[in-house]
Structure 1
Amino acid sequence: MGLFKRMKEDMNAVFDQDPAAKSYIEVFLTYAGLHAIWFHRLAHFFFNHRLFFIARVISQISRFLTGIEIHPGAKIGRKLFIDHGMGIVIGETSEIGDNVTLFQGVTLGGTGKEKGKRHPTIKDNAMITTGARVLGNITIGNSAKVGAGSIVLQDVPDHSTVVGVPGRVVVQNGEKVKKNLDHQKLPDPVSDRCDKLQQEIDMLKEEIEQLKGRK
């Protein structure tokens, strides 16, 4: 696809997603999410040609101008729509399919424990809403939705909706997923750690008593 056709396709994606868009000239001049995508394509070109310094300079200029940080190594498909994109971060090994929507403050990041492919893969038609964090080498399925403020650390199936911290599937294939919401049985990592420490103390006391009995 030619450059200008690709740019027009990007702008049409804005019209498809944003009812506030009134004209091509308005979208061309004022939509920071669109500018960030165009900057990224240029940076990604240089990145693929191993001109890493130039690629990073372009990405940093884009970050300064748009408030959106996309690593030049990230792979982005067609018709990505970034709505009110301030604060979005997309990591180096992220892969984004076609017709994906990202809202303000979304992070496609790593967990700090992985090497190689360490950022998420977002499949076609997925939507990740405001403030969501999708972390690690995981996959967000086709047409999946991630709720605002969620932290997602595991794969999300196709046609599912995920909410919460950590993220859990609440809707799959149009049907609600039943969950046990007995808050008394929810995991408490602090309590679990205290219980483990108590078990270790009890074991040490028992060993001390056994040693005393041998004297």
Structure 2
Amino acid sequence: MKIIRKFVIQGIYNSEVHPDSFSSLQAISSCRLPHPYLIIIHRSASIQTDTVIFHNVTIGVIENNTLITAAQLGEKVYIGTGATILGHLTIGNNAKIGANALIIKKNIPPAATIVGLYK
């Protein structure tokens, strides 16, 4: 599986989606990547079921000495093209994150729609 991930996903799509970032096998099978190019998801992120992630999305960490964890995504989260989500935060169920949104260390309530800078 590591060989497939390294050569197929990273080589062809230029993406890094770590399998540990999914909460279950159902989350892996229900996650939709309509355009799977340039997607970076940190290992410590947690993705639930029925998530849609478009291309050029980054879910990463803000490193400090105490806590290095990425976002915790709820169920049925939609993340638009070019969105960047940084830091330890929670994205509620049914939330929608618009294209090119920047979210830094601020929780998103369930069923919210976020566009632009949210910190």
TM-score grouping bracket, smaller chain normalisation: 0.7 to 0.9
* Cα distance, 1:152 vs structure 2: 0.5
Give the match for residue 163 of structure 1: 115
TM-score (norm 2): 0.84
Give the match for residue 79 of structure 2: 128
* Cα distance, 1:149 vs structure 2: 0.6
Equivalent of 1:92 in 24, 29, 43:
43
Q: Work out whether 1:71 is the aligned partner of 2:18.
A: yes
Name structure 1 gaps, 5 residues minimum.
Answer: 1-41, 43-54, 169-215
Higher RCO structure, 1 or 2 (CA under 8 Å, sep 6+): 2
* Cα distance, 1:132 vs structure 2: 0.2
Q: Is the 8 A contact 2:15 2:39 kept in 1?
A: yes
Which 4+ runs in 1 deviate beyond 3 A? Answer: 114-117
Within 5 Å, give how 1:197-208 maps onto structure 2. Answer: none
Q: Is the 8 A contact 2:45 2:72 kept in 1?
A: yes
Distance 2:116 2:87 in 1: 17
Within 5 Å, give how 1:169-208 maps onto structure 2. Answer: none
TM-score (norm 1): 0.49
* Cα distance, 1:158 vs structure 2: 0.2
Larger Rg: 1
Within 5 Å, give how 1:47-62 maps onto structure 2. Answer: 55=2, 57-61=3-7, 62=9
Q: Alignment RMSD, CA only? A: 1.9
Distance 1:119 1:109 in 2: 5
Distance 1:118 1:84 in 2: 25
- Amino-acid identity (%): 27
AA of the residue aligned to 1:124 = E
Q: Work out whether 1:82 is the aligned partner of 2:29.
A: no
Q: Which has the higher helix share?
A: 1
Name structure 2 gaps, 5 residues minimum.
Answer: none
